[in-house]
Amino acid sequence: MLLSIGLPLIIEKLVLIVVVVMSSLVIAMYATFAERKVAAIMQDRRGPNRAGPFGLLQPLADGLKLFFKEEIIPNLSSKFLFILGPCLAMLTAMMTGAVIPWGDKVHFFGRDISLQIADVNIGILYVFGVVSMGVYGIMIGSWASNNKFSLMGGLRAASQIISYELAMGIALIALLMTTGTLSLKEIVQQQQEHWYSWNIIKQPLGFLIFLICAFAECNRTPFDLPEAENELIGGYHTEYSSMKLGFFLFAEYINMFLSSSVMVSLFFGGYDIPFVNDASLAESIGTNWVALIHSGVFLFKAACFLFLFMWVRWTIPRFRYDQLMNLGWKILIPLALINMLATGAFILLQQNNWHF
Amino acid sequence: MQALTNRAQQVERKPMSLLERAYLPAIFRGMAITFGHMFKKRPTINYPEVTRPFSPVFRGLHILNRDEEGRENCTACGLCAVACPAEAITMEAAERSAGEENLYREEKYAAKYEINMLRCIFCGLCEEACPKDAIYLSETFAPANFQRKGFIYGKDDLLIPHPITEPEAHAKAKGGRVSLK
């Protein structure tokens, strides 16, 4: 039988899915807290510090508050789509986590369990597909609100994500030419050898383009035009209240975390511990401990990216719409194309035994 | 047009160089600035846990003083009320009867003593006018209240706690600043 799916496999995957979903929710929760803290300390303030020690219970209090608020569905909105919007935003945000390798493998009950929900061989294409679906949540939600500001926010979101996905895709093609695979697991494994086998060394320009596009995909400053508070009164989530608003805001943080994870996997060696030989480490302390350290290292790298997202948000002002489009179409796409062609030429020359 | 001062500067409008148009160096410089702010000292204090000290000449809520034996100093002479520019003080005098010597220091005392904290401008002239050291401005300010009548402080609000029966409350009300003669 081609697909041998046994009960242990199903249980193993279910546990993994629950763990990944829960942990990305918790991380997104604390990302909201971290955002407020980072904003505060960058502005010489203190930030939330009243709820629990160091204000650590603040995200719980925020979530509770959102749940208890009144749910308002505007009279003239299309009710079904109005509810569907935040659901879709949340759903697509969570789905990306399925193909990210959070660690190598653990050994439990005589089974090697891979710390990746689905090792599909088109992993990165799946990420792209899901991420571009993310705009539907925003688009549908804003359209259903029946509010001109929401609609403008939604349109901006759609045009921005479509424009930047192009450059992102082309930047990625260059990376895929060097790795030769679409599977995220293999891409990560290729980077395990040395610290200089990380793809950031091979594709610095590609990484820069990818990073900028990731900011745009997550609707983060300086690309936060869809929600531009001071122009559009909150943009696509103007009409939203209670937990539906919470889902939109939450989806942004989950998106941030997962795009950080994708960038770590693609460019920064995934769960690779720099300067450490993993095989010898596994021999000395056991596979499971190494897996734990791997996941920790992965999360640390992702957290650094999350910090970068916040750092940039509290530094740079928002683009004007025409600047946004200029940057996307006239700068990033040509740059990505040049990067792709140069990479291709380099690989061809190397294959024909041209050594530099 | 002739310049009025020599401080006028010609605005340069030359096109940006390639490096400037890349924006990234400027962005990195901006990010360095925000990063630097993470290590700056924050001026905020954690208010309810930490309070800033009042200035030594702060004029806050009034207290009606007692002497060391806990007898009220005020003789209801009315000089404070006369001195008050905001006309915030009213009082009614009464004569001390036999057996009240431990309550009031002199033969006359204030049966009623009210300060309207909404009128009071905390100028401290009552403190200066008092010949008996009976009224002082302390180191706290009037707390918020829902009603106007809550701001009319009677004797029970103003009187300092008894120095013998409640020494801690007395010391607290007296504060570190007031040097009672």
Nearest CA in chain A to B31: A315
| Residue whose C-alpha is closest to residue A42's, from B32, B38, B40, B31 | B38
Spatial distance between the Cα atoms of A88 and A73, rounded to a whole number of angstroms:
17
Q: What is the mean pLDDT of chain A?
A: 84
Which parts of chain A fold into alpha helices (H)? 7-42, 58-68, 79-95, 123-144, 148-179, 184-190, 199-202, 204-217, 229-232, 242-267, 278-285, 287-313, 321-325, 333-351
Read off the pLDDT of each residue in A220-235 and give the average, rounded to a whole number: 77
Chain B contacts of A316, Cβ < 8 Å?
27, 30
CA dist., res. B40 & res. A46, Å (int): 11
Beta pairing partners, B152: B116
Mean pLDDT over residues A16-32, rounded? 87
Q: Which candidate, A305, A146, A141, places its Cα nearest to that of A227?
A: A141
Interchain CB distance below 8 Å, B38 and A41: yes
Distance, in angstroms, between B15 CA and closest chain A CA?
Answer: 17
* A3: closest CA of chain B, how far (Å): 50
| pLDDT tens by residue, A80-97 | 888 888 888 888 888 888
- The CA distance from A127 to the nearest CA of chain B, in Å, is 28
CB pairs under 8 A between A and B: 33
A212-216, A232-236, A240-244, B175-179: least confident range:
B175-179
Pair of tokens at residue A251 = 């989806």
Residue A336 pLDDT exceeds 60: yes
Q: Does A42 touch chain B (CB under 8 A)?
A: yes
Q: Does domain B62-174 have CATH number 3.30.1490.20?
A: no
Q: Residue A247: what pLDDT?
A: 86
DSSP three-state, residue B147: coil
Residue that the structure tokens 């009409």 belong to: A239
Cβ-defined contact of B35 to A45 (cutoff 8 Å): no
Among the partner-chain residues B27, B35, B42, the one whose CB lies closest to the CB of A44 is: B42
Span between the terminal Cα atoms of chain B, in Å? 71
Question: Are A294 and A271 in contact, with CB atoms under 8 Å apart?
Answer: yes
- pLDDT values of chain B reduced to their tens digit, one per residue, 181 residues: 777 888 888 888 888 887 777 788 888 898 899 888 888 888 888 888 888 887 778 888 888 888 888 888 888 898 999 999 999 999 999 998 888 888 888 889 899 999 999 999 989 899 899 898 888 888 887 788 898 888 899 888 888 888 888 888 888 777 765 454 4
Question: Across the interface, do B42 and A45 touch by the CB < 8 Å criterion?
Answer: yes
**Which residues in chain A are closer than 8 Å to B42, comparing Cβ atoms?**
41, 44-46
Taking an 8 Å cut-off on Cβ atoms, the answer to whether A315 and B30 are in contact is yes
Average pLDDT over every residue of A301-312: 90
Whether the Cβ atoms of residue B122 and residue B137 lie closer than 8 Å to each other: yes
A308 close to A268: Cβ distance less than 8 angstroms: no
- Which residues on chain B are in Cβ contact (under 8 Å) with A42? 34-35, 37-38
Closest-approach residue (CA) in chain A for B42: A44
Give residue-wise pLDDT tens across range A126-154. Answer: 888 888 888 888 888 888 888 888 888 88
**Angle between the N-to-C axes of helices A7-42 and A287-313, in degrees from 0 to 180, rounded to the nearest 10:** 40
Q: CA torsion A280→A283→A288→A294, rounded to 10°?
A: 0
The residue in chain B having the minimum alpha-carbon distance to the alpha carbon of residue A307 is B35
Cα separations in angstroms, B160 against B132, B149, B155, B164, B166:
15, 21, 9, 12, 10
Q: Which residue of B has its CA nearest to A40?
A: B38
Q: What is the pLDDT of residue A267?
A: 87
Q: In chain B, what are the domain boundaries?
A: 62-174
Q: Is the pLDDT of residue A107 over 90?
A: no
